[in-house]
Amino acid sequence: MENGRSPAFAIISTIGPELLFNLVTTSEAAEGRHGWLLDSVNEEEGRLAVLTRDFIWVLGNRGIERLSQASVDERCRLSPELAGIYGFFGGRGVGSRRDRHFFLTTDTHMGRTAARALSVFLRRQGMYVDLFVPRRFTPRLPDGFGAGMKEIARWCQDTFPKLRQQGYQLVFNLNGGPEALTSYLGRIASLYEAATAPIVTHYL
């Protein structure tokens, strides 16, 4: 803490599709729509049937409204990513106006939609949010996924030293996204001796 001010944090969160799954209603699940999501996790928007694509979009909009109206406990139950953020800040909020949030997700319709919903929610809380999505970064495309991991590595090398120079403390929130991505960023976190948000497996 300098000059009596609390430190500023740069929170790097990996974003997965869990929020969307948790927003499916009982009646929608009975219609088989939960299965639609399972079949769509690794798919880009253009590869999806119109009904599936539109349903995912509906869930994203539903997420924005639910998160805005929900209690902290419900937000954490809906989104493991938010559970990690709230956990890091001791349940007191999602950060201060000085903090910055960075989202990493897959180049899939579900990944982008979940990240959009969470971004809108945090921005409504007054937070800065930046989203980084490498092109063709999906487990469905091994070459694209590998290239995306390299792009993320370059992004980390370019971004993290600058944030440190600006006085930010790095925090890694690895509660969503593909295991390969969270494992990689976990190693990066150890290299930077960065803080990590609580892993909240009971919300997954």
β-bridge mates for residue 169, sequence order: 9
pTM of the model: 0.92
Q: How many residues make up the chain in this entry?
A: 204
Class of domain 8-203: alpha beta
10 Å CB burial of residue 71 (0-12, 13-18, 19+) is exposed
What pLDDT digit, counting tens, does each position of 162-173 carry?
A: 999 999 999 999
What pLDDT digit, counting tens, does each position of 97-144 carry?
A: 999 999 999 999 999 999 999 999 999 999 999 999 999 999 999 999
For 21-54, letters b (16+ CB in 10 Å) and e give bbbbeeebeeeebeebbeebbbbbbeebeeebbe
For residues 167 and 189, what is the distance between their CA atoms, to the nearest angstrom? 17
Which sequence spans correspond to the domains of the chain? 8-203
